[in-house]
Chains A and B, each alone.
Chain A
Amino acid sequence: MRDKRDYDDIPGTYVFDGEHSRKGYHLNMFCMSLNKDANREEFRADEKAYLDKFPMTSEQRQSVLERDFLEMLRLGGNIYYTFKIAIFDRLTMQHLGALMSNNEMTFEEFRDMMISGGRSVENNRSKENETQEYPKWQN
């Protein structure tokens, strides 16, 4: 286990440090492979068979098949890599933002939150001073 880090208390944030990178290497390299058109076609034809080419854990494989983007982060995924799957699915970063908010936020709600100035840093700096668990954003 790695030592405790001073960023561990930042809520809702998965710092892509060495531990994450080690855990997520094959998951991320699968994502990276989608930069190539031929690989995208192969993945489109048979997702499971394509994923079998990468020595990922069964949890990682499942998270990709289910498009559980938050779970991918927990399993070592990096957002710039997992975003390749979103591109493949023709989703934007705002779609992912809504999905990862983990509170049934819709794309429209996320978009409107951004237009209204984004998610405030107040009460989102540290797990210690969080007042609520990611309240659904209200207009």
Chain B
Amino acid sequence: MAKLIGGIGTSHVPAIGAAVDHGKQGEEYWKDFFTGIEPVKEWIKEAKPDVCIIVYNDHASAYSLENISTFAIGVADEFEPADEGYGPRDVPIVKGHSEFAWHIAESLIFSEFDMTISNNMPVDHGLTVPLSVAYDQPSEWPCRVIPIAVNVIQYPAPTANRCYELGKALRMAIDSYDSDIKVAVFGTGGMSHQLQGERAGLINRDFDERFLDDLVSDPAALTKMSHTEYIREAGAEGIEMVMWLVMRGAMDVDVDEKYRFYHVPVSNTAYGLTILENCES
């Protein structure tokens, strides 16, 4: 059976991708950041997941306002890096795992999560930046990827609780897949940031640190927060943090936090990274 070996939370700021692509890691602005994310590269090199399920949001790349899916799963064999307006990022094609993805889609739907199923899904920075954070610049990504896209752009995003419950259903899907593969789940986006309006640049370190604490020991507290509270405290775009709860929902109740890193700023955003493992019984 497939085995969930860990959960990673990471912001997916596009500037990180640009810094990697243009070799800026050593620059003053970026030095501390890239030093801080080094442990996740080491963790993943050691853990070697066969499949990474990456929960992220599309930013007007694969999806537009024409059709808005609250939860979508990518079931294709391949996902092209999207052109977000600069031309596509020069990163390897993302290889999917179609059979496993279909298993997850069916399992989630029978768990009453009515997923959108996507075969055509160019993936933008929301998905490729977390891969760069974990794997740097390989000639091919060393894992298969199953994208799960969450709408957090059109209000209302799914509730924090719904995301957490989706994570639990995702875990059932992983545990019931009849193949001895290792799986990691990524929750991406956040942390506090506001890109739009006169309040642009908002950062709330206290909120973020509390979120990272509760993510480990009291995720239920995070599921009770309303959208308005997330927006007010973590910024309009900080609502992305609900996607970390999908990852957390997939993990056991008791987790070990293997690593945490928090850094301000990355562009207009507070960056957060966490590595969680299930407590061995």
Contacts and interface: CB of A to CB of B under 8 A. Distances in A.
B201 interface: yes
A121 B200 contact: no
Interface residues of B, number: 45
Interface string B182-223: 000000000010111111111111010000000000000000
A90 to B, nearest CB: 9
Contacts, number: 153
Contacts of A12: 197-200
Interface string A89-129: 00011101100111100000010011101111100111000
B47 interface: no
Q: Secondary structure of the B side of the interface?
A: loop
Given A16-B153, A36-B83, A40-B85, A121 B197 contact: no
B165 interface: no
A32 B153 CA distance: 14
B264 A118 contact: yes
A113 B60 CA distance: 28
Nearest to B87: A37
A29 B66 CA distance: 8
A94 B197 contact: no
Contacts of A88: 85
A33 B64 CA distance: 10
Q: Chain A interface: which size bin?
A: 35 or more
Contacts of B237: 79
A100 B268 CA distance: 13
Given A29-B65, A100-B197, 5 more contacts: A10-B231, A12-B197, A15-B231, A17-B155, A119-B202
Interface of B: 14-15, 59-61, 64-66, 82-87, 153-156, 192, 194-205, 207, 226-228, 231-233, 236-237, 264-265, 267-268, 270
